[in-house]
Amino acid sequence: MRYLLAALAVAGVVVSAFALHAHYSKDYLYLPCDINSRWSCGLVNHSRYAMVLGVPVALIGILGYTLLGVVAWLRRRLQFMALSIIALGIALHFTYIEAEVLHMWCLYCVISQGVIAVMTALAIGWWFTCRCRKPSEPANSAA
């Protein structure tokens, strides 16, 4: 499981890096993810909601996915589950902003939302499989 979660974390870093590129792009209206009037990574990543305390949200995503990848690799199931739930909550907050405030979607953000949702579901399952194992059963060191 840690390999899958680490791979998803890498995917999250990559998609967040694309969003960070959109954030710093000068020609943000001509990015490949700017599809139409409802889908524009450039406009979303240049909105006033794209920064938290002066830090781009996409950079926070890169750091968060990196942390999740390390925690998964170290098999810290409870910590991973807690961090992924927090990250999912943050992602849902920004999804709300896209849907209800900006009325505009960022393809990279939606992909990231999907990645963190899958990671959170897997984290909950990973933690419960560990918790439900009987004490007499050997731990699987590859999990």
Convert the pLDDT of each residue in 92-123 to its tens digit. Answer: 999 999 999 999 998 999 999 999 999 999 99
Whole-prediction pTM: 0.83
In order along the chain (143 residues), what is the average pLDDT of each group of 10 residues? 92 94 76 77 86 94 96 91 95 94 92 96 85 58 53
Go through the domains of the chain in sequence order and give each one's CATH number.
2-131 (1.20.1440.130)
DSSP 5-65: HHHHHHHHHHHHHHHHHHHH-TTGGG-TT--SSSB-HHHHHTSGGGEETTEEHHHHHHHHH
